[in-house]
Amino acid sequence: MLTATYATIAIATEQDKTRNMLCRLQQYVETAWKSLHNLDLAFIDTAFGKLTQYDRFFRTRKIELYLIPSLRGMSRDAEIVIAELDSISARAATTLRTISEQLTNAIELGSSKATEICHSMQLYCRHMDMRLEKEERELMPLARRMLSVEQWFSIAAQLLSEQSGGLPDRRRRGESSQPSNGFRHRRTSANLH
C-alpha cells in the first residue's frame, strides 16, 4: 500500500504544480486582455509561447504517461472518463492551432486581432481547467478503486525510475510521449516559471 500512497502523492503534487502553472497562465492572459488597447504582437506571441510550453508540460505529466495507460481497457467507466479527457485535450489542441493561425495571419497582414487571439487563449485555459477538474473529480477516484496493488507498484517504480534519471519506457523506445495532435509550436521560448 505504500507504493500506492507514493504514486498518489507524486501525482497529486504534480497536479498542484500543473494547477499553479495554469493559474499563472490565466493571469498572464487576463493581463493581456485588460491591456488590449496598447498590446503589441510581440506580447501576444510571448503569451502564445507560454501556452504552448504549458501544453507540452501538460502532455508529459505522470497522469498522461503512467496512470491513464494503466486504466485503459480496464472498464467501461474508465474508457468513458478517458474518452472525455481525450476530447477535452483535442479541443484544447484545436484551440492552440487556431491561435497559431490567428497570430500568423495578424503578423502577415500587419494587423492585430488581439481581441480574437486573447479570447482563444482564454478558451484554451478553460479547456485545460476543465481537464484538470475532471482528472481530480473522476479519474483519480476511479484509479484508486480500480488499480491493484501490483499496478500501483508498477506506476511507483516508473515514477522512481524517472526521478532517478531513467526515462519512461515510451521515451526509451523512441516513442513520442505526446499524443499526435498535429500542432507544432512556432518559435517562441517563453518561460512559465
Q: What is the pTM of this model?
A: 0.79
| pLDDT of 175 above 90 | no
Instruction: Tell me the average pLDDT of the chain.
Output: 82
The pLDDT-based confidence of 36 (bands split at 50, 70, 90) is: low
Backbone angles phi, psi at 167, to 5 degrees: -105, 145
**Per residue in 9-33, pLDDT tens?**
999 999 999 999 999 999 988 887 7
Q: Summarize pLDDT for 37-48 with one digit per residue, the tens.
A: 666 777 788 889
User: What does the pLDDT look like over 53-86, one tens digit per residue?
Assistant: 999 999 999 999 999 999 999 999 999 999 999 9
